[in-house]
A and B are shown apart, each in its own frame.
Chain A
Amino acid sequence: MTEYALEVENLRKSFGGHVAVDDVSFSLKPGGSLAIVGESGSGKTTTARMLVGLERPDSGRIRVVGRDRSNAARGKATRLARARELQMVFQDPYLSLDPRVSVAQCVEEPLRLHFGMSPRERRARRDELLERVGLGEREADALPRRLSGGQRQRVAIARALATEPKVLILDEATAALDVSIQAQILDLLAEIRRDTGVGYLFVTHNLALVRHIADDILVLYQGRVVESGPTRDVLAAPEHPYTRLLLHSVPRPGWDPAQIAADRRALATALREARAPSAAAEPARHDPDAAPTRRSVTP
């Protein structure tokens, strides 16, 4: 049996009466790349936040390299061990970087926290990490506000990589960047994955991006997984009407926004009726060994 870098089973979270994440299951192989896609409010960020412990799931299981982390971490050692394995990069690096701390200190901080390194070893490793993401000495001394958006995102990635995580979660991490810079970051991420074997979990609603960065895709709609499988197959022959709608929504020649708007309303009505309690279907059971390669579609 393969040991997954990340395994999620029947994850569920509600806020008040509203179910934000509903019975979500997926898995990621070591060094794999999975994209979670879906419209705004579909539960992508909530899922990611549960994985890194920023949100407590109501139910479900999360395993990272085989170790269960569904329950809150007890004690500092456990918390640190968990943080090492799974790191997250957010959309706006400006908000996640401390404005008073230089780039160099920012990257050194996790090294100090997680490894018993001498100051000298730490500085060497810091320089290695910064070089890895294409930042030099000049940037190392700077405060975040003096950097461009792309440079700040590089710092966030270097910092996340410092703990040598098994999985890096990127929540719309390139959405705020210009396309010419986004493409640079994507190249960098691909290179890092090749060299270190880190796995990626991309959270995004940009399907064109997904096509080029993710091996597998998971489509969320109103908190539920409606379709999953290898990116290539899902994009070439989407089976769920929502996946099809999402694909048609991507601007390109021949794009018909009026048709998409009409389809969207029709779909919302149809799915609301199909999900009425009397018609509720048994939720699809998750089979971790088969999931990443086999197509699965839920009504």
Chain B
Amino acid sequence: MTTRLLEIENLNVRLAAGRAARPILDGVSLHVERGEAVGLVGESGSGKSVTCRSVLGLLPEGSQAAGSLRVDGEDILTMSSNRLRELRRRDVSMIFQDPRASINPIRRIGDFVTEGMRAGGVPQKDALKRAEELLESVGIREPRAALRSYPHEFSGGMLQRVMIAGALAGGPRLLLADEPTTALDVTTQAEVISIITRLQAERDMGMLFVTHDLELAAAICDRIYVMYAGRIVEAQSAERLFRRPRHPYTSGLLAATPRLESDQPPHGVPGRPVSLAEAPDGCAFAARCAHARPGCTEDEPVQREIDGAQVACLRAEELIHD
């Protein structure tokens, strides 16, 4: 059996420092194969970004992680910092949620895009030439001039593309895309996604795509993981997740999403999302779940396989959603 490109097993992250001590992720397991696009969806605070960033070894300050996080079989959590740096430069890239907060505002765009290549020993001249090509391929006109400009000279959408160019510059095998298009309008979003998916197919790159937009995840991902309060509650192929969600939270999310092609008005899920730290005993979704039974607030649902789907709901076998 070949090793998987990304394999996260039973990842637990908790803030350990004093009064702020609290759990953030609980038993997160997921994988990404070469060439595969995998979605990670869920509401604000469910732990999508923490999961994504942990693959780069970027854990919240003062936190402890347990479990394993392997890229091509190598464990991130036990890796030397030299090896981790090399991995980030060459094999794993991330598009961060907020481009303005993650690109150094006082450095030129050229420095940002060529950083990884130069650190990897590519001569300055070659790196600049490659950067120019990349900026062109993400649809930046006048790429040579762009290399000399500063982040504030770009709109949010343009800066997002610069970040995509930077993330792809090192030719990564794994791309972590954390809400790369949330700040963009739909036409710009389509343009940015077309760039990412084209390069993904061309290079057989694996991708973990974080979003809270289920429709977007379904349109570009092969498989989707759904997170709620720091845990994975469901995983299925994108197509089946839509046709036959297995977890009440997933069907709630689907029902709440306004659809262009449906007369059904969106329906809210009562209550609000909770973080893992606030989650009560038993199922974290129980307070908002229309199917909750007294037992749901006692036993924590374990994930199991039902008809090809991974589900963590005590009543998954009896409930059918459509």
> 1/0 per position for B213-226, CB-CB distance to A under 8 A?
11110111000000
Please pick, from B157, B185, B194, B212, the residue contacting A205 in the complex, using a CB distance under 8 A: B185
CA of A184 to CA of B258 in the docked complex: distance in angstroms?
12
* A187, CB-defined interface residue at 8 Å: yes
* Stretch of A20-28, A59-67, A250-258, A291-299 with 4 or more beta carbons under 8 angstroms from chain B: A250-258
> 1/0 per position for B191-213, CB-CB distance to A under 8 A?
10111011000000000000011
Please pick, from A150, A247, A264, the residue contacting B191 in the complex, using a CB distance under 8 A: A264
Residue of A nearest to B264 (CB): A212
> In angstroms, how far is the closest chain A Cβ from the Cβ of B47?
14
> In angstroms, how far is the closest chain A Cβ from the Cβ of B299?
24
Please pick, from A186, A206, A260, the residue contacting B190 in the complex, using a CB distance under 8 A: A260
Let me know if B194 and A250 touch, CB within 8 A.
Answer: no
> 1/0 per position for A176-211, CB-CB distance to B under 8 A?
001111111111000000000000000001111101
CA of A193 to CA of B314 in the docked complex: distance in angstroms?
40
Let me know if A261 and B190 touch, CB within 8 A.
Answer: yes
Residues of A within 8 A of B252 (CB): 180
CA of A151 to CA of B215 in the docked complex: distance in angstroms?
25
Let me know if A179 and B219 touch, CB within 8 A.
Answer: no
Let me know if B190 and A257 touch, CB within 8 A.
Answer: yes
Known: A180-B43, A183-B267, A186-B266. Contact between A40 and B260, CB under 8 A? no
Let me know if A264 and B187 touch, CB within 8 A.
Answer: yes
Please pick, from A40, A149, A212, A253, the residue contacting B258 in the complex, using a CB distance under 8 A: A212
> In angstroms, how far is the closest chain A Cβ from the Cβ of B276?
16
Let me know if A39 and B187 touch, CB within 8 A.
Answer: yes
* A143, CB-defined interface residue at 8 Å: no
Q: Which residues of B207-266 are within 8 A (CB) of A? A: 212-216, 218-220, 242, 252-253, 255-261, 265-266
Residues of A within 8 A of B43 (CB): 178-180
CA of A256 to CA of B267 in the docked complex: distance in angstroms?
28
Residues of A within 8 A of B73 (CB): none
Which DSSP category, helix, strand, loop or mixed, fits chain A's interface? helix
Please pick, from A39, A187, A207, A258, the residue contacting B198 in the complex, using a CB distance under 8 A: A258
> 1/0 per position for A37-73, CB-CB distance to B under 8 A?
0011100000000000000000000000000000000
* A148, CB-defined interface residue at 8 Å: yes
* A222, CB-defined interface residue at 8 Å: no
Known: A180-B273, A208-B260. Contact between A39 and B185, CB under 8 A? yes
Residues of B within 8 A of A250 (CB): 186, 215, 260
> In angstroms, how far is the closest chain B Cβ from the Cβ of A123?
27
CA of A235 to CA of B259 in the docked complex: distance in angstroms?
12
CA of A212 to CA of B262 in the docked complex: distance in angstroms?
9
* A102, CB-defined interface residue at 8 Å: no
CA of A235 to CA of B213 in the docked complex: distance in angstroms?
21
Residues of B within 8 A of A40 (CB): 155-157, 184-185, 188
CA of A249 to CA of B44 in the docked complex: distance in angstroms?
24
* B270, CB-defined interface residue at 8 Å: yes
Residue of B nearest to A210 (CB): B258
Please pick, from A186, A205, A212, the residue contacting B186 in the complex, using a CB distance under 8 A: A205
> In angstroms, how far is the closest chain B Cβ from the Cβ of A91?
12
Let me know if A179 and B272 touch, CB within 8 A.
Answer: no
Let me know if A252 and B190 touch, CB within 8 A.
Answer: no
A: number of interface residues (CB 8 Å): 39
> In angstroms, how far is the closest chain A Cβ from the Cβ of B187?
5
Chain A CB count within 10 A is highest, among B214, B216, B268, for B268
CA of A179 to CA of B185 in the docked complex: distance in angstroms?
17
Residue of B nearest to A204 (CB): B185
Residue of B nearest to A150 (CB): B272
Please pick, from B155, B186, B212, B218, the residue contacting A246 in the complex, using a CB distance under 8 A: B186
* A83, CB-defined interface residue at 8 Å: no
CA of A26 to CA of B193 in the docked complex: distance in angstroms?
34
> In angstroms, how far is the closest chain A Cβ from the Cβ of B221?
11
> 1/0 per position for B74-92, CB-CB distance to A under 8 A?
0000000000000000000
Please pick, from A178, A212, A251, the residue contacting B212 in the complex, using a CB distance under 8 A: A178
Let me know if B44 and A149 touch, CB within 8 A.
Answer: yes
> In angstroms, how far is the closest chain A Cβ from the Cβ of B291?
16
Residues of A within 8 A of B261 (CB): 252
Residues of A within 8 A of B214 (CB): 179
Let me know if B258 and A206 touch, CB within 8 A.
Answer: yes
Residues of B within 8 A of A212 (CB): 258, 265-266
Residues of B within 8 A of A257 (CB): 190-191, 193-194, 197, 220
Residue contacts A-B, CB under 8 angstroms, 30 given:
A39-B185, A40-B155, A40-B185, A41-B155, A149-B44, A150-B272, A178-B44, A178-B212, A179-B212, A180-B268, A183-B258, A183-B268, A184-B268, A185-B268, A186-B258, A187-B268, A206-B186, A208-B257, A211-B258, A211-B259, A250-B215, A251-B186, A251-B213, A251-B220, A252-B218, A252-B261, A257-B194, A260-B187, A261-B191, A264-B187
A178-B44, A179-B257 known; 13 other A-B pairs, CB under 8 Å?
Answer: A148-B272, A179-B43, A179-B214, A184-B269, A185-B268, A205-B186, A207-B260, A249-B186, A251-B216, A253-B218, A255-B190, A261-B194, A264-B187
A-B CB proximity, top 6 nearest: A184-B268, A183-B268, A180-B269, A257-B194, A260-B190, A249-B186
